[in-house]
Structure 1
Amino acid sequence: MFSIDLHTHISTTSTRRFPSVQVLFGDLVVVLGVSLLLDTTVVFPTSAPLLCAPSLSVVVGVWVLFQSRLQNIVGAAVFITIGAVWQAVALDFATVHRISSLPASSGRTDPPGSLRSA
């Protein structure tokens, strides 16, 4: 008649060893939010650890780059760039005004004041 195989089961657990990018990003946001809350309410001084917090964004970007096997380059590059600029401002290597006033590339290679017309 009919036979029932009791050893067949469907696994609902994930086979991933590392957490997904969304989980890492969510954890990063929660940790930074709690740190900022503790610092602004003067419950616990976290200004020294927050000085290095932008490096976490760079680390997550590099991790995403290698986790995607160099296929998600744009997303990782955004994380790395934002983290690097944020870290430069946090360590006083640059200012927000100086970074925001950098000229955007127009694709032209002519130096300003050259004789060629636009």
Structure 2
Amino acid sequence: MAAHRIFATSFASIHPLYVQKAERKGRTSAEVDEVIRWLTGYDDAGLQEAIADGRDLEAFFASAPAFNPDAALITGVVCGVRVEQIEDPLMQRIRYMDKLVDELARGKKMGSILRSA
């Protein structure tokens, strides 16, 4: 089976779209970066490096320092599909990231987005 086209999409092309979505709803670029760092374990420098070097989403997640084990707590629907039922691990991680940004844009509290007690 052929890989999804989204896997070859660069993180650098997706990140500004996430920021625009959040900013339209009154959130900030820093908050977008915070939820992405929480999910992937990247620090600020690592996230900026991933943007600068143009790595695709497959490489972005493959080189993520520490994917958050609490990501399994992310539930809901993205693009008509329940994220907890996605079988492909890479697609699921991409949709987790989409879901976090959606929650941010919808105005959820950061503690709730980051699945903290």
Look at both structures and tell me which one has the larger radius of gyration over its CA atoms. 1
Higher relative contact order (CA 8 A, sep 6+): 2
TM-score of the aligned structures, taking structure 2 as reference length: 0.32
Higher helix share: 2
TM-score of the aligned structures, taking structure 1 as reference length: 0.31
